[in-house]
Structure 1
């Protein structure tokens, strides 16, 4: 299994049922407001194949193609996640400010000099998790991950929730997960 990502999983009934669990509705209500309809920017399965996978440099998930940045991502471990197999590292508190970003970029990647300065100045930690555990991440939280140096895959499911009024730079809207017009797993 050498693929890296499978996207648009909000259109799969099994994954949509998971995305619409009450705990995620509550998280979104706290982040965006209880009456706010919630859309999905992306729902994807991610894989770091055994002995492979790429290093993901330190960055913030800031999307220049959107008129408003999403702030909630839920990352669920589908396998045990460790430093050895490329777990996510984070800089706690880094969501409080935005780093400079190339306006054409989908992510705000730090330069090597920026990353070195931040990691020397700020504490960072690794999100080692058991299969089935989930991490709640603010999209501006500085994070990155290493390569998978083990003989087993490191797989996860990531969902980025956002206010349903968010538009792309082309005026596109996104699939509603919670609220009026929400996708229904029974009708997909």
Structure 2
């Protein structure tokens, strides 16, 4: 095995700044996307638009819960693929990043992609379902879904490395306390 790339997403200050800027851009891009999706769902259900002035505040409170659930989903999938390995959780307050990690655990490309993208897929689907069932307002749905999707920027960064950067190579991925190590495998 040859080390191809080490990604330190927690302590690399330049990377943290770039990822936070990308998250802001993604938030602005996801807002109209989820708003439009919400309108499509609303039109198909025949309900009317209701605006609650508390929605932005409720969305912020719900977002904190979503952050915890997001990391628990990562932890669940770490355990599904390596039940014998320890999973830890934490927050880096300086950068505002919450994380789940299973240091020293090795995963295939597909396993790490599932671990990485599971929270985005699960929580976006859940929020959309809750909205479709009329249990959330359009504003609440739009804000929560866009904030969560933008909060997945680090996961999308990992996905870039796993799918685009080393596309033509067999790789093994080691989870570390601060990111990933990507190893090339010999044929």
- TM-score normalised over the length of structure 2: 0.25
Structure with higher strand content? 1
Structure with higher helix content? 2
